[in-house]
Amino acid sequence: MTQSNKTILRALRGEKLATPPVWMMRQAGRYLPEYRATRQTAGSFLDLCYNPDFATEVTLQPIRRYGFDAAILFADILLVPQGLGADLTFVQGEGPRLSTVQNADDFTKLKPADAVHETVSPIYETVRRLSSELPPETTLIGFAGAPWTVATYMIAGRGTPDQAPARRLMYSDRTTFDALMDRITEATTLYLLKQIEAGAEVVKIFDSWAGALPGGEFHRYAIAPVIRIVDAIRAKHPDVPIIGFPRGAGGSYVDYVNEAGISGVALDTSVNPDWAARTLQPKLCVQGNLDPLLMVLGGDALTSQTKRIVEAFSGGPHIFNLGHGITPDADPANVDVMLKAIRG
């Protein structure tokens, strides 16, 4: 199959398909026994990310098992801050821990944006391997965290419920906060460009904490950095589609879609599919947005909700996905139930 005929790429070009292509956020992950086995062999989570043998293997596992229409590179959004000089560890059962950037002195200790390549070069090797090992019909998606979401971790040193540490720095020291956002934006752009050069056919920008931004700051810190990234990618790779995911954006999804310049928008679980079909889908491809909890529960609710989303978005370009990542307690058998409801 030529690249132009891959279903994900056709949808992102605006084509309405009789059966929507499908992949899942976090599809290579802890719900799969084969992933857990590979993770145990690899050692730490970062060892898994930075070893191209292991990272390629776990990226391919859900493709072998389910035949998704896309594979997403196995990595983590916090590899960019590590490349900028942040100390990064993952605590079992608790998540990431980073050294923090909380003032101008902390910022001056960061490396320049192009230093990120020294740390993340194994990721590019993983992309190169995947581009040759994936089935010819499967699209390869690269990704990065959006600057705002990455900044929240760099400032707090961990995930927080309301991103208060990042908002506090934003209000109290705008100069340092803006400098940090600029550095992350530049590094993210370079990182995504290298992924594309290595073989990524689509890239996705995950703004997992976009919904924590106050309305008045949403354009400045959720939309404007993505515009910079998109413009830089388009200048070198005008045909590579870009998916944006401003999770929790609510009504600001409209502004994001209108202004960011993306090819497709991923919808979180809170977004009403009927509203999105009327408001967003006439402008671009929409992706989503099944509740991940249904991958745990299964049954008739999973089948009916899957079919409802397919029907709601049947009038335009649509990539079926979850509204957030599949969770570790999901039943792998429920993925087959979902796929049957989509594909028949």
Q: State the Cα torsion 234-240-241-245 to the nearest 10°.
A: -70
Quote the CA–CA distance of 330 and 335 in Å, as a whole number: 9
CA angle 113, 116, 122 (to 5 degrees): 160
**What is the structure's pLDDT at 2?**
62
So what's the pLDDT on residue 3?
62
As annotated, the active-site residues are: 26, 30, 39, 76, 153
3-state secondary structure of 338: helix
In the chain, which ranges are continuous DSSP H helix? Answer: 7-12, 33-42, 45-50, 52-66, 79-83, 104-108, 116-133, 147-156, 164-172, 174-198, 215-218, 224-236, 253-259, 273-279, 294-297, 299-312, 332-343
Tokens of 162: 């309301």
Encoded amino acid at 274, one letter:
D
Q: Which residue has the tokens 């026994």?
A: 33
Q: CA-to-CA distance for 256 and 212, rounded, in angstroms?
A: 15
Q: For the chain, which residues score pLDDT lower than 50?
A: none
Number of folded domains that form the chain: 1
Q: What is the pLDDT of residue 92?
A: 83
Which residues have CB under 8 Å from 248's CB, separation 6+?
A: 209, 210, 211, 212, 268, 270
CATH number at residue 133: 3.20.20.210
Give the structural domain span for 160.
3-343
Six token digits for residue 238:
């005008």
